[in-house]
A and B are shown apart, each in its own frame.
Chain A
Amino acid sequence: MQISTTPTIELHRLHRLFGSTHAVNDISFEVHRGQVYGYIGPNGAGKTTSMRILSTLDLPTYGDAFVDGFSCINDPDRVRRRLGFMPDYFGTYANVNCWEYLDFFARAHGLVGRERSQALRRVMAFTGLNLLAEKPIRGLSKGMKQRLCLGRTLIHDPAVLILDEPAAGLDPRARIELREMIGQLAADGKTILVSSHILTELAEMCDRVGIIEQGRLLATGTVEEIQRQQSQASEVRVRVLGGAQALSQWLGAREDVEKIVLDGEYVNFAHAGVREAEVELLREMVVAGFAILEFGTHQTTLEDVFLQVTRGYVQ
């Protein structure tokens, strides 16, 4: 994917204090056009606060946030034209049906006439709400309400989407559908900042992630990049025919191997080095006469990275 040089979202040394609580502590990162950035952290880590600052709902104590080059503090109206925010609550009205609800937000975004009716039809088709247009919001399921809220976020076709826990409380089917929708929007070139507790889903949809705890951004980048930042060693598991003990002794003599554990036919160890070094290690094992049945490195998941990076502190 072609990445533009100017970031669409930029947080620059952002701080937010609530009394003595440092909810957001010196956070800086950038998201470029068309990227999906996953924002991960335990409850109370500062995700929602920084998302609210980006959405022009709160002011930082220090620092600034920018959307498409416009300051969220000094040019909120310009930011708002470019931004769609989906908070972690529904924000619906009583005595209003789905069409009326979306129509209101379309009007509030300044859409008029044909432009508004087109936007309404487009969003209802995208979120699959066509058949529920006349249905009162009160009677919608949680999944449908979430679709409606996504529709509200998209009604003015913003270039940037801020989605705070969009999959919270949804059933597996609704989650998959939501993930697909986010994927489609990213493919359209929208820049998306999404927070979630469901890490497996984030891993599938995000280009990059940021891990936040106690208001601090502990790591940012792709999952692989963060994993590499955290540890230079990769976990290797080798199955050897009739020589596990010998292999473990052979490995113990090497400087690039540590944490060797024997497990029946398997030998697990940590290997410091890049992929090419792993290939070389395998070749050396075979040359040394070991009958290697399996040689694999453990695939690091977002969950592994998250658990490695965070300490479970809550403020």
Chain B
Amino acid sequence: MSSLDSALKSTPNADSTQRETWWDRVEAVLERGSEWLNPILVKEARQALKSRQFVVTFTLLLLLGWVWTIFGVFLSAPGIFYGAEGKGMLFGYFLVLAVPLLVVVPFSAFRSLAAEREDGTYELISITALNARQIVSGKLGSAVLQMMVYFSALAPCVAFTYLLRGVDIFSIFFVLYYTFLVSLLLSTFALLVATASRSRQWQSLLSVLLLLVLLFVGGMWITFIYSSLYENIWRADLWEFWAVQGFLLTNFVMFFMLFLWAAGAQISFPSDNRSTRMRYIMFLHQAFFIGWMVYFTIAIDNEPELAIVSIVVGCIYWGVLGALLIGEYPQLSPRVRRELPQSFLGRMTWTWFNPGSGTGYIFTSLNISFFAVACLVMLSIPDHLVQSYTLTIATSIAPTVATSSPVIDWVPAFTNQFASNFRESSFVILAAAYVVAYLGVSRLMVLLARQVASVGLMFSLLITIFFAIAGAALPWIFQFWLFNYRNEGYTILQVTNWAWTLEETADGNIWNHWPSPVGVLLGALVIFLVNLILTAGEVAQVRIAAPQRVQDEQLTLHPVKPKRNSPWDDEKPASSNA
């Protein structure tokens, strides 16, 4: 018997003599229920609900809720008995909720994780069975719990606004639903910010910046909710409304997952694979985004502007994420190499999801190219495929498809549409080429910098921003200086100036300066090829076997059942008596 067990034996069990009360039984049930919850959530709930911050916020919320109820009723009287006063009352309650939900809860989530890292308790948790993502999810769960408590506290007041006239149930639902989603996304973002640095100085700076972001977003959201209530945008009777809800929800889920995984990756063990899962999410996000854009083009509106907006969003998205991906280190730990794809096809496809600067660049370039191709397809969809915006995609396309021959009708229709949208198509191609080129140059700089110093994601992000600004501003300044500060219009000198070049493209004048777009395309191709050659080393990584000790334990924990060759083979080993 170990000394721990003998200490337990020598301790009298005080509870054994007491009778179990009904409350003990309730507590036991709750205790069993809590086994299913994230341990961080259980701890945070115990901690947070006893904290001064929560008590003060909750008390203030209740007080302000009551004050607004009394004040609002007096303010609306006597019209409250026959007028439509619900909107005003609802907006008042929303304001009371907005501060805790949009500022207090996300900021507490930030402080909660930052404090764990400052106080060293994060280290103690990190060496338990919990992984980094579970830790972040637990913190987020605690934030959600607090949101729920605040929502519940004001639920009777919100229900009261429905009893007044002037606000429908959908408006109330969507105001609360979207406020919850925004609060959740801000909390996830705040957790990501908390993982950015361990140093107290940086944490202080980040906390100020985060607070400013929260106040800004909170202010914007309050303004939006106010106008949404009075402009009646929550139109559940419209079909497009639900399509937009689907689009927003998809993007929310993708950004939420991206932030959550990024926060988890930031604080995970250094030899872990921090990148592959995030690349899956990015890839999936792009696929969903393109899917929605094509759907909107076909089912709602076949305007070329949609493709332009899409490529701009895509360029920003991949520009930022690509700038971070090219800052990754290419060395894979043996732990990561144990899980690399083995087959030729697997390596061809999944290698670009492996961590590394080169794979990150190629991954980004392939994605933005794919995005551009999707936008070109959107620009090529013939108008007659899009019949009425009230029809769904299936009813829109099905009759056309059924009565047409793909080769005879479709190919000319698509090419004609593409030709008529040549200006927009040029914009799409050039925008994607600029992203490939600038990220490629930044990656080459990262490789150069690594010859003398150890540089990471922050360096690659900053160098990309620097190149993007310098590439646009320097030729512009140079040209003005060259022409004695007179505006001589677009020239070939502006080939690196993505802003001006794309503006000229949008205006339809870029092919008058054809060497410039051709230069951009050729430049992007050359930079891509140089980077591809330099990525060879990263692609050459092969899978390695787990050490014998790991394999042995794996076999002990998950023994392989002996294969039965016939129905007479006994599963259990025969005993000596048999």
The verdict on A80 contacting B43 (CB below 8 Å), with A126-B4, A157-B4 known, is no
5 contacts between A and B (CB under 8 A): A73-B271, A93-B121, A94-B47, A108-B128, A122-B4
Asked if A104 and B129 sit within 8 Å, CB to CB, the answer is no
Q: Which residue of A lies closest to B123 (CB)?
A: A57
Is residue B127 contacting chain A, with contact meaning CB distance below 8 A? yes
Asked if A78 and B553 sit within 8 Å, CB to CB, the answer is yes
- Closest-CB distance, A12 to chain B (whole angstroms): 13
Asked if A91 and B119 sit within 8 Å, CB to CB, the answer is yes
Q: Which of B35, B125, B270, B335 contacts A108 (CB 8 A)?
A: B125
The verdict on A188 contacting B128 (CB below 8 Å), with A69-B549, A70-B549, A94-B51 known, is no
| Known contacts A126-B7, A185-B3; 4 further A-B pairs (Cβ under 8 A) | A56-B269, A69-B549, A76-B269, A125-B11
Asked if A57 and B126 sit within 8 Å, CB to CB, the answer is yes
- A: contact size bracket: 35 or more
Asked if A109 and B3 sit within 8 Å, CB to CB, the answer is no
Q: Which of A78, A107, A122, A130 contacts B5 (CB 8 A)?
A: A122
- Closest-CB distance, A230 to chain B (whole angstroms): 35
Residue interface mask A64-97, B partner, CB < 8 A = 1: 0000011101111110110101010101111110
Q: Which residue of A lies closest to B13 (CB)?
A: A121
Asked if B120 and A87 sit within 8 Å, CB to CB, the answer is yes
- Closest-CB distance, A179 to chain B (whole angstroms): 13
Q: Which of A56, A70, A92 contacts B127 (CB 8 A)?
A: A56
Q: Which residue of B lies closest to A92 (CB)?
A: B121
Asked if B47 and A108 sit within 8 Å, CB to CB, the answer is no
Residues of chain A lying within 8 A (CB to CB) of residue B564: none
Q: Which of B3, B11, B32 contacts A113 (CB 8 A)?
A: B32
Residues of chain B lying within 8 A (CB to CB) of residue A105: 124, 128
Residues of chain A lying within 8 A (CB to CB) of residue B127: 55-57, 80, 83, 85
- Closest-CB distance, A295 to chain B (whole angstroms): 42
Asked if B39 and A104 sit within 8 Å, CB to CB, the answer is yes
- Closest-CB distance, A151 to chain B (whole angstroms): 10
Is residue A100 contacting chain B, with contact meaning CB distance below 8 A? yes
Is residue B10 contacting chain A, with contact meaning CB distance below 8 A? yes
- Closest-CB distance, A105 to chain B (whole angstroms): 7
Q: A110 to B35, alpha carbons, bound, how many Å?
A: 9
Asked if B42 and A78 sit within 8 Å, CB to CB, the answer is no
Greatest chain B CB density within 10 A among A85, A125, A184 is at A125
Is residue A187 contacting chain B, with contact meaning CB distance below 8 A? yes
Q: A71 to B335, alpha carbons, bound, how many Å?
A: 10
Is residue A59 contacting chain B, with contact meaning CB distance below 8 A? yes
Residues of chain A lying within 8 A (CB to CB) of residue B125: 108
Residue interface mask A152-188, B partner, CB < 8 A = 1: 1010110000000000000000000000010011011
Asked if A76 and B271 sit within 8 Å, CB to CB, the answer is yes
Q: Which residue of B lies closest to A81 (CB)?
A: B129
Residue interface mask B128-139, A partner, CB < 8 A = 1: 111100000000
Q: A107 to B43, alpha carbons, bound, how many Å?
A: 10
Q: Rank and list the top 10 A-B pairs by shortest CB-CB distance, nearest first.
A: A107-B39, A108-B128, A184-B3, A126-B7, A125-B11, A69-B549, A125-B7, A95-B50, A104-B43, A110-B129
Is residue A14 contacting chain B, with contact meaning CB distance below 8 A? no
